[in-house]
Structure 1
Amino acid sequence: MVIASAGVNVPATGAGGDGVGNPTAEPAATQECRLRRRRRLEPQGSGEAGPSWVRRLRPAASRFSSSSSSQSASQGSSQEEADPEVQEMELAPLTPAGLQPEPVAAVAAQQVWPVAFGSVTMAGRMRIMEDTVSLHPNLCTWAADGSPMHFFAVFDGHGGTHVSALCRERMHDLVAEELEREGAAFLRRRQASSDAARSVSAFLGGPGPAAEPWSEQAEEERAWRAALMRSFRRVDAMAPLACACGRVARPSCGCPLSASGAAARSTGIVGSTAVVAILVRGRLIVANCGDSRAVLCRGPEGTPPVPLSFDHKPNRPDEMERIAATGGRVLFINGYRVRGILAMSRAIGDRLLRPEVIAEPEITITERTVEDQCLILASDGMWDVIDNDIACNVARQCLEDGIPPPAYAAAAAAAGRVPPAAGGVVGHQEEPRCVCAASLLGRLALGRETEDNISVIVVDLKHRE
């Protein structure tokens, strides 16, 4: 339909006329959906560019594809052509600056970057199970665009289950809180940058250089790092008050585990490693504190894996230098240990080993690619006996082999582990194929006679039928 100013005959029906004698526009002109508007022409020589919609209008007359269409349009607008202040224009689609993406962008992100997951924990040859895992798909959304953020973590406790259980119960909540806070601050900074750029442009009469150019990716990464840093510090501050069940209470929560764990907590050498992975859009964010590890399997078989974290061992050159700078010592007693006690240089808790042992994580942010196969998070009970290459080859092969055997699939379904929804949307249950890959890695570590607890999470990063 074509719209015109008052007093102008405009065809609005199909071929054959409208029954009043007015000619009808060609179907091609109707399909073009041209829009006529009345507007004042800009004064000649004026330095004003006019409103934004005027600058983005295009003359529709130049887009007519046939002479017949042009003739029909001219017949219906003879009065308008006589008016020098009226010009036929076609509105181009506009995207207002600073418009926030629609919520459907979050669904698209899930479809482009699929995630399925599974895990296994084994006590192995240890009498006490001190490892814990935390699986929280769709934990929260990133305030900047509504993209879902998925949380996976492995915590390897030592000296008791107090801190590893605390991390399992509280870490994801704290991370979600800090990400929400940083997301709000990110939006304020982005708006302030946009306002500053418009002010500079208005002052200079055109686009001008900004003092501090806005970088969306750099600001996002800064916000994510800050959120994870604060989350680790908050959990570490709670560690001295943690019960063996994971609750924070003073003097005791009164659960059956509180009495048995009181002696261990009083020593002050109770802590946990933490390797946390957050998946958002095409980014993998990994925060590591201790000697648990995250590895990305990328590319076909034989491609070297991509380490996303690096173990905090006391004999690591930079860690040994940091410990020496605090006045501490690294002794070799059944392996390299801080003060001859702890076999790692960073951990949550362990307040009596400060300042040598710190709870500050190292954070890496990695861009995902279509070649990514899976992500493996595991405690040192697995990594001590299985290197990165073997772990990736085993997990990749298990995921590529297809659906697990019927007996295992039935057992997984009985335990509530069902595949995620089709199309790559992340489900809330573990996927049998990923559980099978994690279990196979755990059994392989047992067969290689690991002496520690074993915890493994496998995150499938591809659409698999």
Structure 2
Amino acid sequence: MIFDNLKKGSVAAEGGILSKNAPVDRKIGEIEFNGEGRKRMRLRRVRPVVEADSGGGMTVLSDYDAGLKKKRSEILMENETLPSSGGHETHRRAFGLTSVIGRRREMEDAAAAELGFLRGGGRRYDFFGVYDGHGGCRVAQACGEIFHKLVGKIAEEQSGGWDNKNNVIDWEKVMAAGFEKMDEEVNKAGEEVATTGSTAVVAVVGDEEVVVANCGDSRAVISRGGVAVQLSDDHKPNRPDELERIENSGGKVINWNGQRILGVLATSRSIGDEYLKPYVIAEPEVKIANRTALDEFLILASDGLWDVVSNELACQVARRCLNGELRATASNPKFSEVDDSSSTGWSRASEAAACLTELAIGRGSSDNISVIVVELKQSSSV
């Protein structure tokens, strides 16, 4: 099986969008998921407890929950120590992840972070994804749970084995196949799910490259040498090339509270939305950026952030947080005083994700807000 079964009432390890007591009413692939979004969620801080394994690396044993609570929202963040490609030194990939309901009545976003989701041949890749559902939480939930597994399996098959360190992964083909497979799994789930969908912006971070694939209007931005560089282009129905594609396929874009396909959907690409095909497609745009010494951090976020915060402002705020100059008001003082150089210290990337979320809410965002901040500077050995 490609996917692990999800038990009824389980809560996702990252992303936190499955209700503990919500009914399970539909399957996608090998998983069951809830038919309702979370209406009441909690704020929690997570710190992994790590222990050296027999290979000289570090293994996450358990999470530390500080027990912070906040009505109708959830913030989940992590800072993990991982084996380096050499297998003996260890280094950290610090990231922060937030996913909150904001001013919406239902939570339709999901987010995922899978460190070391793909390893072999002396290489290691981390996966990050933000999914903005519409018409319900079903498709976003499914993406958060299984998308990284699909991409990892396809990459392993396409690489032809990891014994040869010179194997090159064709990430454009891998991502295209991953989005196609995810869309197929969603569309096989039945009529109820066929009327829902989700955007998807995902990033694979390796030692030498950052791969970003986008389908919809969530967005990826990298800060490189102090400059905000957008790595994905929003798929809007009024984007000239998207409008031409939609009309050539027989569709119409109607101004109904904004430009929408058939007056319904405000994004021109998504996973799911079978009833709007072929006007809405699940084909991603993929960009591969070689890692440089100037790379600072990567931001992935749903339009709940980007609708009210510019790329430049988001990078300015994140940079100040990573430099220790700015903290989120919801921060736990116990973690705020921890030296970030410690392998079990509270990641400043966590503060950056929380600050960006608070900024979006303060600027009047009316949508769910999901943000991931990934540090890209040279990882420190521990």
SS of the residue 1:115 aligns to: strand
Q: CA deviation at 1:179?
A: 1.0
| 1:340 matches 2:263 | yes
Structural mapping, 1:54-203, within 5 Å: 105-107=85-87, 115-141=93-119, 143=120, 145-184=121-160
In structure 2, give the amino acid aligned to 1:127: R
- In the other structure, the counterpart of 2:234 is 311
Is contact 1:381-1:454 (8 Å) kept? yes
Structural mapping, 1:230-309, within 5 Å: 230-242=177-189, 266=192, 268-300=194-226, 303=227, 305-309=228-232
| 1:220 matches 2:168 | yes
Q: CA deviation at 1:167?
A: 0.3
In structure 1, give the amino acid aligned to 2:353: A
Q: CA deviation at 1:104?
A: 7.0
Separation (CA, whole Å) in 1 of partners of 2:321 and 2:284: 31
Task: Describe the superposition over 1:385-443 as per-residue Cα deviations: whole angstroms up to 9, x where unpaired.
Answer: 00100001110111012696999355659xxx996875xxxx9xx95311111111111
User: Relative to 1, partners in 2 of residues 1:451 and 1:147: Cα closer, same or farther, differing over 3 Å?
Assistant: same
| 1:369 matches 2:292 | yes
Higher Cα Rg, which structure: 1
Separation (CA, whole Å) in 1 of partners of 2:187 and 2:335: 37
In structure 2, give the amino acid aligned to 1:313: K
1:434 equivalent among 344, 349, 352: 349
- In the other structure, the counterpart of 2:32 is none
Identity %: 43
Separation (CA, whole Å) in 2 of partners of 1:391 and 1:377: 11
Between the two proteins, the alignment pairs up a number of residues equal to 297
Q: CA deviation at 1:234?
A: 1.2
Separation (CA, whole Å) in 1 of partners of 2:379 and 2:193: 49
SS of the residue 2:286 aligns to: strand
- In the other structure, the counterpart of 1:359 is 282
Aligned-pair Cα RMSD in Å: 3.0
In structure 2, give the amino acid aligned to 1:140: L
Separation (CA, whole Å) in 2 of partners of 1:308 and 1:431: 28
Task: Describe the superposition over 1:266-288 as per-residue Cα deviations: whole angstroms up to 9, x where unpaired.
Answer: 27320000000001112000010
Separation (CA, whole Å) in 2 of partners of 1:321 and 1:149: 36
TM-score by length of 1: 0.59
Select the structure that is richer in helix.
Answer: 1
Q: CA deviation at 1:299?
A: 1.2
Select the structure that is richer in strand.
Answer: 2
Is contact 2:138-2:193 (8 Å) kept? no
SS of the residue 1:120 aligns to: strand
Is contact 2:124-2:207 (8 Å) kept? yes
Separation (CA, whole Å) in 2 of partners of 1:418 and 1:233: 43
In structure 2, give the amino acid aligned to 1:231: G
User: Relative to 1, partners in 2 of residues 1:464 and 1:229: Cα closer, same or farther, differing over 3 Å?
Assistant: closer
Separation (CA, whole Å) in 2 of partners of 1:316 and 1:420: 44
TM-score by length of 2: 0.71
Separation (CA, whole Å) in 1 of partners of 2:327 and 2:115: 22
Is contact 2:186-2:193 (8 Å) kept? no
1:457 equivalent among 348, 366, 372: 372
Task: Describe the superposition over 1:165-222 as per-residue Cα deviations: whole angstroms up to 9, x where unpaired.
Answer: 000111011111011101116978x9xxxxxxxxxxxxxxxxxxxxxxxxx7xx835x
SS of the residue 1:128 aligns to: coil
Is contact 2:96-2:353 (8 Å) kept? yes
Separation (CA, whole Å) in 2 of partners of 1:407 and 1:323: 44
User: Relative to 1, partners in 2 of residues 1:240 and 1:405: Cα closer, same or farther, differing over 3 Å?
Assistant: closer
- In the other structure, the counterpart of 1:9 is none
Question: Which ranges of structure 2 fall in alignment gaps of 5 or more residues?
Answer: 1-82
Separation (CA, whole Å) in 2 of partners of 1:278 and 1:412: 28
User: Relative to 1, partners in 2 of residues 1:419 and 1:238: Cα closer, same or farther, differing over 3 Å?
Assistant: farther
In structure 2, give the amino acid aligned to 1:227: V
